[in-house]
Amino acid sequence: MTKRQSSKTGGKTADQKTVSARPTGNLVTYFIIFVFGFLAGVAFTVIRSSSPDPASTPAPQEHSQNDQAHQAILNLEAEVTANPDDYQAWVRLGHLYFDTDQPQKAIKAYTTGLELHKGDANLLTDLGVMYRRTNQPAKAVEYFDKAIAMDPVHMPSRFNKGIVLFYDLDDPEGAIGSWESLLQIDPEAKTSSGEPLGQFIKRVKEDLAKHKAEQH
C-alpha cells in the first residue's frame, strides 16, 4: 500500500512488518503477519563481517539500482537546496530515504514537507513507519492517529497502528481494536497468505486467552 502517493513498509523482520500506505493495486489484502505464539516477535539482525564473503557480493543489477537510487537522492537533495519550499520534492526525497533505509533522513524530509503542506494520510503513515524504525513507537502511533483523523477510512494507518501496539508497546487489546476497526471498513480484508482478517484476529485472541490462562 504506500509514485506513489505517500507510504512504505517498515520493519523488515518476518513477524513485525508494517506496511506502506502507497497503493500497490490490491486494497483488499493487508500484510498482517502470522503470530507464532503470544508476542513471539523475532528480530533478525544482519551481521556483516569486516571481510565479506565474495559470494555475497551484490549482483551487477543490484549495484546499478543502488547507483540509480544514490544519484536520484543527490539530484533531489540539490533540488530542495535550490527550492526549499518545494513540498513535492521534499516528499519524493523522503520516499527515497525510506526506500534506502535511511529513516532519520526520511523523518527530516517528511517533516519539512509537512511544514509546507498538511500532506495526506499516506504521508503521515509513512512518517509513522519511519518513527518506528528509529525505535520511537509512541511517536509512530501518534502519526498513525493523525492519519486516521485526516482520513477516517484510511486502512494502512490502522494496520500499522495495530502492529506497533502489539509488538512494540505491549498493548494487544489496543492492537486488536485497531485491526477490528480496519475490518469494519473492509469486511473482506485478508492477510498476505489469503487468510480472512477476521479469522486472523480470532486466532490472536485465542493466543492471548491461552497466555493469560497459563499465567494463572
Please give the share of the chain, as a percent, with pLDDT higher than 90. 60
How many domains in the chain? 1
In contact, 16 and 163? CB cutoff 8 Å:
yes
> Is there a domain that residue 196 lies in?
yes
What does the pLDDT average to over 169-178? 96
- For residue 202, tell me if it sits in a domain: yes
What is the rounded distance in angstroms from the CA atom of residue 159 to the CA atom of residue 27? Answer: 12
Confidence band (pLDDT; 50, 70, 90) for 60?
A: low
Average pLDDT, the chain: 78
Q: Which three cell numbers stand for residue 26?
A: 490490491
Domain range for residue 201? Answer: 58-215
| pTM assigned to the model | 0.74
Q: Is residue 47 part of a domain?
A: no
Q: Is the residue at 147 inside a domain?
A: yes
CATH number assigned to the domain comprising residue 133: 1.25.40.10
Is residue 4 in some structural domain? no
Residue 207 domain-assigned (yes or no): yes
